Structure 1
Amino acid sequence: MTATERRSALVQDARRAIARVSRPLENWVPEGGADHDVVVIGGGQSGLSIGFALKRAGINRFAIFDQAPEGWTNWNSTARMNTLRTPKTITGLEQGIPELTFEAFYDGLHGEGSFAKLGKIPTRDWSTYVDWFREVVEVPVTWATRLVDVASSDGFLSLTFSNARSTFGVTTRKLVLATGMGGLGRAVVPETIASLPRSLWSHTHDDINFAALAGKRIGVLGAASSAFDNAATALEQGAASADLFCRHPQLAIQRVDSKLTLITELHVTRHFIDLPEELRWRLIARGRVRGVVPEESITRAEAQAGFRLHLGHGWDRVTTDGNVVHVQTGGGTFTFDHLIAATGYDVDIHARPELARLAPHAALWRDRYVPPSGEEDAGKAAYPYLGPHFEFLERIPGAAPWLGQVHLFGYAAILNHGFHVGDISSMGSCVPRLVDGIAREFFLADTGHHLSSFVDRRETVPIDLPTDEPSSATSIAPKERRHA
């Protein structure tokens, strides 16, 4: 059997397994005048998992939009580590269906027992798996389409989209933002780098053409995982050298026993929202003071002959001379042909033009929680303060009640729902919580419709009661009860 035939067989096996545990449900949400019941922004693994869960819940009038071209995912572009950082034993995307797990997929392609031999999951194999998952669950995505505006209109959300052909609008009852790490803010680029010609620098968030950097001298600012992964990728694809600069005298190395591992455990993620605000703040704000780097990322970079690590040196001054860049540090001046900013992301809802109508009304953590003295963090204070089902809450109650129709499923939700919302480790607990919350609101909003429909369909069988006493005062012994 060829690889293509094995993959096709796996698709059919997985679909049969899905059918056994979740028969296709007729949409139970009554049509209420909107084009969609749910619109999801983001067609990556989060959006696909949410769409699959909506289908299984019988909420079928949903649509998924993604601004990227079809086939593009961060797993085949900006995710530059050789293997996932998540332990291979973490599940969740498959929603409890064994035939839909990565293990079943990998063993089906490479032979029984192949998964057991893996240390960690290769990134490219995970990318292939996500593509296969999309094929199995048959969740459609509209690609190359950007959300440009969110407004409230007649009880619905009015969304405006733009693509290469036109600008158009749709209405929906619910909106889910599943837009990843930078989806509620922007990539951070120091002004010393941002002021340079764009051809001379990249951010790790960019789709970098590493082949074009072959033979060039690369300067990398930052010391978390993406810094080492991008330096290693550049060298592996032919760069002459890669110098990585960390302003701290020591690296923050993530080992298996790291405290951050606690926050990724399934049971902690599942119940994180129930923890007191103070404990949630400390777990996230303290745990993210510095970016950490896995040991394997360091080993990978150090294996390259052109790699040099500079600890305790930030960039004091950056200047250009034609097509080269001079970086002045405490350890001297270095000359590079290209810079890579591995400087992370800011969470700033006001930086998202498509959310301009929502941002002024959304409650942030600084609006609801005052940390103890010495534990202030202006960056984390700007994170949105969300409800139990990832919904935005109003900063001033009653000022914009429509905010509850918008849900945030991404990195910026971590203070509310745990580290990392949108990552593989969060899928098993966070996706059901989101979809259950949406379904609950739909049911309660349409209670009259559902109850009348239930009564109309239900066959009733009368219960015979003794006639010698008023029925309201009758007590019937268990053996005398008659059941419909």
Structure 2
Amino acid sequence: MTSSAQTQGLAALESRIRQDLDYLGLPAKNWTIPASHPEGEVKDVVIVGGGMSGLAVAAALAFNGVDAEIYDQSPAGLEGPWATTARMITLRSPKELPGPCLGIPSLTFRAWYEAQHGLEGWQQLDKIHRLSWMEYLRWYREVLQLKVHNLQKLVDVEARADGVVALSFRDDTSGQTRRVLARHAVLATGRDGLGGASLPAWAARLPSSHWVHSGAAWSGEMLRGRNVTVIGGGSSAMDAAATALEHGARSVSLLIRRHDLPRINKSKGTVNPGMAHGFRLLSDEWKWKVRHYLNTTQVPPPHSSTLRVSQYPNASFHFGIQVETARLEDDRVVLSTNLGEVTTDFVIFCTGFCTDWAQRPEYARIAGHVRLWQDHYPSLPGAPDRELAGSPYLGSLYQFLEKQPGSLPGLERIHCFNYAAALSQGASAGDIPQVSDGAQRLASGLIASLLAEDVDQHYARLQQYDEPELDGSEWRAAASPLPDQAHL
């Protein structure tokens, strides 16, 4: 399609969305009661993070008459990883998944794509291009008119007993800090939402000039002509290795602890309505068992991502190799492994992310009070799992719970809608297959909470409601107060 035809197609789709929402009576009128506070305005819900998950929650709330505002640290249009730190060519999820559409067909990626490229274009599409997904999310934000404040970095979160959460954001343009009060705060902060990069201890021996983590923003151009070593063999490792190769790295060696790559993506076996709606209601034992199994079997890199690397003759895969320590020698990195020494120019750590409160100073006030799984549930015999043990033990609305009851009133007003919720709530807070289910469930719970907190004022509104249904002219009273018996 030409650009003009694409524009016309999107205009028609947006008209259809307005009609679909109108048919459903959406969005509902705002019904919440403004909260008053000596410190100023109190917002109903503030969402930290304007990526897919944050947008989905904001939309689900807006449809139900609750205003929610999003604060994101990135520039407008660069929220989430898709146009910054992600390096895959296409998404790994099947193109047919509905994503954050919240049950409205015209809000799906497919509807957006077909509006521009037609049915034939959709049928020819194999998987969704990473940057196309970002374009779709930008459109989603715009067409639903969601409120997003960009370049706002969260620097402090304070849970309080007076019915509000106080959040402080630093404006990256002015450098000034603003304080925002909210009745509920949602942390839609992604894969590293409660921590950051997971690094082996020996990484501390290397200067930052000689390594990066796959989750950071970096350009492949800096690797041109250099010998690069990638630590890991998962999806991010393939993406990082391919990026280096495509930008002219002299060689790329992948050091993989396993003796082989896993062949089956077991996580695909959890993509079904049962897991989407029922995982959160399973016993702690079954939750641990399922998530631990997925952690130990691990996710193989996609077929296409692996071929993207192996097509290069200067790429090599090394299995069964464990780095034990490292040092810098003559401006080169020397890795000591169980199989001998490896010398390289640069290291890329593709070692995942972890929950690590120390990497997130903005949570310093609440970190020590959050109940973790290790505080609540001993791991299954023979199934220890550090990642799971450090996950927050969440309530039914993704809310943090106190480690010691009564130690931090108001903590329950902070909701963890990011990857760290996976053990408590399943993959509903960040994965494309279940994000609508999670967003709608969280929004429904927040709505119920807002009503319950103000039920006395809503009752007063009910008593004051005086829109007449009848004006007295709709009938004529009989002359006699009793019916005429002859007509009975």
TM-score (norm 2): 0.89
Q: Which residue of 1 aligns with 2:181?
A: 171
1:340-363: per-residue Cα shift (whole Å, max 9, x none)? Answer: 000111113354211111112211
1:213-266: per-residue Cα shift (whole Å, max 9, x none)? Answer: 122211000111111111012112222221001111111233xxx432122323
Shifted more, 103-112 versus 153-162: the winner is 153-162
Q: Which residue of 2 aligns with 1:200?
A: 210
The equivalent position to 1:326 in structure 2, one of 324, 328, 334, is 334
> How far apart are the structure 1 equivalents of 2:373 and 2:206?
34
> How far apart are the structure 1 equivalents of 2:234 and 2:354?
15
> How far apart are the structure 2 equivalents of 1:15 and 1:337?
55
The equivalent position to 2:23 in structure 1, one of 20, 25, 38, is 20
Q: Does 1:103 align with 2:110?
A: yes
> How far apart are the structure 1 equivalents of 2:7 and 2:339?
54
Q: Which residue of 2 aligns with 1:226?
A: 236
> How far apart are the structure 1 equivalents of 2:8 and 2:204?
49
- Where in structure 2 are the equivalents of 1:300-311 lying within 5 Å? 300-311=308-319
> How far apart are the structure 2 equivalents of 1:24 and 1:261?
34
Q: Which residue of 2 aligns with 1:235?
A: 245
Q: Does 1:66 align with 2:72?
A: yes
1:110-141: per-residue Cα shift (whole Å, max 9, x none)? Answer: 12232223232222221211111111111121
Q: Which residue of 2 aligns with 1:30?
A: 33
Q: Please tell me whether the aligned partners of residues 15 and 137 of structure 1 are also in contact (alpha carbons under 8 angstroms).
A: no
> How far apart are the structure 2 equivalents of 1:215 and 1:9?
49
1:287 Cα deviation after fit: 1.3
> How far apart are the structure 2 equivalents of 1:232 and 1:291?
21
Q: Does 1:185 align with 2:195?
A: yes
The equivalent position to 2:441 in structure 1, one of 433, 445, 463, is 433
The equivalent position to 1:312 in structure 2, one of 307, 320, 330, is 320
The equivalent position to 2:291 in structure 1, one of 256, 262, 284, is 284
Q: Which residue of 1 aligns with 2:227?
A: 217
- Where in structure 2 are the equivalents of 1:150-169 lying within 5 Å? 150-153=157-160, 154-164=162-172, 165=174, 166-169=176-179
- Where in structure 2 are the equivalents of 1:434-473 lying within 5 Å? 434-457=442-465
Shifted more, 158-167 versus 283-292: the winner is 283-292
> How far apart are the structure 1 equivalents of 2:273 and 2:241?
32
Query: CA separation of 1:349/1:265 partners in 2, compared to 1, >3 Å: closer, same or farther?
Result: farther
Q: Does 1:56 align with 2:63?
A: yes
Q: Please tell me whether the aligned partners of residues 252 and 291 of structure 1 are also in contact (alpha carbons under 8 angstroms).
A: yes
Give the residue type in structure 1 aligned to 2:368. Answer: P
Shifted more, 1-10 versus 196-205: the winner is 1-10
1:2 Cα deviation after fit: 4.1
State the SS of the aligned residue for 1:3.
Answer: helix
Q: Which residue of 2 aligns with 1:478?
A: none
Q: Please tell me whether the aligned partners of residues 365 and 381 of structure 1 are also in contact (alpha carbons under 8 angstroms).
A: yes
Q: Cα RMSD over matched residues?
A: 2.0
Q: Please tell me whether the aligned partners of residues 314 and 329 of structure 1 are also in contact (alpha carbons under 8 angstroms).
A: yes
> How far apart are the structure 2 equivalents of 1:328 and 1:399?
46
> How far apart are the structure 2 equivalents of 1:36 and 1:420?
25
The equivalent position to 2:375 in structure 1, one of 367, 373, 376, is 367
> How far apart are the structure 1 equivalents of 2:82 and 2:206?
29
Q: Please tell me whether the aligned partners of residues 223 and 291 of structure 1 are also in contact (alpha carbons under 8 angstroms).
A: no
Q: Please tell me whether the aligned partners of residues 26 and 58 of structure 1 are also in contact (alpha carbons under 8 angstroms).
A: yes
Query: CA separation of 1:184/1:290 partners in 2, compared to 1, >3 Å: closer, same or farther?
Result: farther
Q: Please tell me whether the aligned partners of residues 11 and 132 of structure 1 are also in contact (alpha carbons under 8 angstroms).
A: no
1:69 Cα deviation after fit: 2.2
1:95 Cα deviation after fit: 0.9
Query: CA separation of 1:195/1:68 partners in 2, compared to 1, >3 Å: closer, same or farther?
Result: farther
Query: CA separation of 1:450/1:124 partners in 2, compared to 1, >3 Å: closer, same or farther?
Result: same
> How far apart are the structure 2 equivalents of 1:195 and 1:99?
52
State the SS of the aligned residue for 1:173.
Answer: strand
Q: Does 1:389 align with 2:423?
A: no
Q: Does 1:265 align with 2:275?
A: no
> How far apart are the structure 2 equivalents of 1:376 and 1:321?
37
1:50-103: per-residue Cα shift (whole Å, max 9, x none)? Answer: 11111101001x211111222223111222122211122221411111111111
Query: CA separation of 1:104/1:221 partners in 2, compared to 1, >3 Å: closer, same or farther?
Result: same
Aligned residue-pair number: 458
1:162-214: per-residue Cα shift (whole Å, max 9, x none)? Answer: 12320121111000000001111121122322332212111011111112212
> How far apart are the structure 2 equivalents of 1:322 and 1:43?
44
> How far apart are the structure 2 equivalents of 1:38 and 1:238?
47
Query: CA separation of 1:8/1:234 partners in 2, compared to 1, >3 Å: closer, same or farther?
Result: farther
Q: Does 1:41 align with 2:48?
A: yes
Q: Please tell me whether the aligned partners of residues 183 and 413 of structure 2 are also in contact (alpha carbons under 8 angstroms).
A: yes
1:404-429: per-residue Cα shift (whole Å, max 9, x none)? Answer: 10000011001111136311112121
The equivalent position to 1:87 in structure 2, one of 78, 84, 94, is 94
Query: CA separation of 1:290/1:187 partners in 2, compared to 1, >3 Å: closer, same or farther?
Result: farther
Residue ranges of structure 2 left out of the alignment (5+ in a row): 471-488
Query: CA separation of 1:290/1:143 partners in 2, compared to 1, >3 Å: closer, same or farther?
Result: farther
Q: Which residue of 1 aligns with 2:145?
A: 138
TM-score (norm 1): 0.90
Give the residue type in structure 1 aligned to 2:18. Answer: R
> How far apart are the structure 1 equivalents of 2:336 and 2:356?
30
Q: Does 1:407 align with 2:420?
A: no
Q: Please tell me whether the aligned partners of residues 47 and 64 of structure 1 are also in contact (alpha carbons under 8 angstroms).
A: yes
The equivalent position to 2:260 in structure 1, one of 250, 264, 273, is 250
The equivalent position to 2:132 in structure 1, one of 125, 136, 139, is 125
Query: CA separation of 1:24/1:414 partners in 2, compared to 1, >3 Å: closer, same or farther?
Result: closer
Query: CA separation of 1:290/1:237 partners in 2, compared to 1, >3 Å: closer, same or farther?
Result: farther
State the SS of the aligned residue for 1:77.
Answer: coil
> How far apart are the structure 1 equivalents of 2:24 and 2:331?
60
> How far apart are the structure 1 equivalents of 2:266 and 2:343?
38
Q: Which residue of 2 aligns with 1:149?
A: 156
> How far apart are the structure 2 equivalents of 1:420 and 1:228?
26
